[in-house]
Amino acid sequence: MSKTLDAFKNGKAFIPFLTAGDPDADATVSYILAMADAGADLVEVGIPFSDPTAEGPVIQEADAKALAGGMTVSGSFEIVERVRKVKPDLPIAFMTYINPVFKYKGAAYEEALKEGQVPDEEPEPYVPFFKRCEEDGVDALILADVPFEEQEEVRQVADRYGVDLISMVSPTSRDRIRKIAEDPRGFIYVVSSMGVTGVRSDLKSDAVRDMVSIIRETNPAARCAVGFGISTPDQAKQMAALSDGAIVGSAVLRKIHAGSGPDEVAAYVRSMKEAVTGS
């Protein structure tokens, strides 16, 4: 049973993002635990990809570092397994690109390959990934390069294993928002601005307000969290006031890249959670 929507049961949600394996797996586990203790309502864990076309420079750097350090899809699952032992109830989502999900063949297949055996048959695409999500307690998946029109082949497998395939809407979605909002899984990821991920000094409330109002008109039960460009408590407060929560990625990674330890990142998360709670 997916815990994605539990993220919204403590009022407005604060959702931090970080990249698995940046700077290494142990650090990622420590950061996630610290953020959960500081009030993060859901943690998004990025599975690094070689060519993250939707990301700005900060997450690009994080992906490159994580891959250079040997992080893999299985390694990202292992991080979640370790977190789960301590935090059984924390909602966790993966965020990545479709190719690593499409190509993932599961730990047993990988072991066989390592021992030089070539398994007879390749598993059905997406099944090993979502099966492992179910086993390790990954509640949701966000794929930056799968728009609504291409979701079907992924979503039917995700549904089978009780994993929420999150949909995004953006300022250019216009008429498409209605069909996206009709039957969403988990929450709807509202992309605040045009372009790629990264910190922005000016966030435009109007576009977000419009998107959220179309979503709510179409589907009053839908939950919306706003991401892209948010870094300060004021921005988080502003965006959460218009929706059900705020998602922050690049700003968290900037702290990690600047050498902040789990305590400092936790202090930041606490200030952001306080800001969205008061919104």
Partner 1 sequence: MGTKGRFGEFGGQYITETLMNALDELEQAYNSAKEDPDFQAEFHRYLKEYANRPSLLYYAEKMSRDLGGAKIYLKREDLNHTGAHKINNCLGQALLAKRMGKTRLIAETGAGQHGVATATVAALLDLECDVYMGRLDMERQALNVYRMELLGARVHGVSSGTGTLKDAVNEAMRVWSEECATTHYCIGSTMGPYPFPTMVRDFQSVISKEAREQILSKESRLPDAVLACVGGGSNAMGMFYNFIDDPDVRLIGCEAAGEGADTPRTAATMNTGSVGIFHGMKSIFCQNEEGQIAPVYSISAGLDYPGIGPEHAYLGTSGRAAYVPVTDEEAVRAFEYLAKEEGIICAIESAHALAHAMKLAPRMGRDQIMIVCLSGRGDKDVAAIARYRGHDLHE
Q: Which residues bind partner 1 (CB under 8 A)?
A: 49-56, 60, 64, 67, 72-73, 97-105, 110, 113, 144-150, 152-153, 167-174, 176, 191, 194-196
- Residue among 39 and 75 whose Cβ is closer to partner 1: 75
- How many Å is the maximal CA-CA distance in the chain? 57
d(CA 27, CA 116): 32
CB of 49 to partner 1, least distance (A): 7
CB of 195 to partner 1, least distance (A): 3
Please state the φ and ψ torsions of residue 118, each to the nearest 5 degrees: -105, 110
- Residue among 102 and 161 whose Cβ is closer to partner 1: 102
- Residue among 38 and 157 whose Cβ is closer to partner 1: 157
CB of 39 to partner 1, least distance (A): 29
Residues facing residue 191 across a β-bridge:
227
Count of CB atoms within 10 A of residue 68's CB? Answer: 11
Nearest to 158 by CA among 138, 176, 144: 138
Nearest to 220 by CA among 245, 244, 250: 244
- Residue among 47 and 251 whose Cβ is closer to partner 1: 47
CB of 144 to partner 1, least distance (A): 6
SS3 assignment, position 10: coil
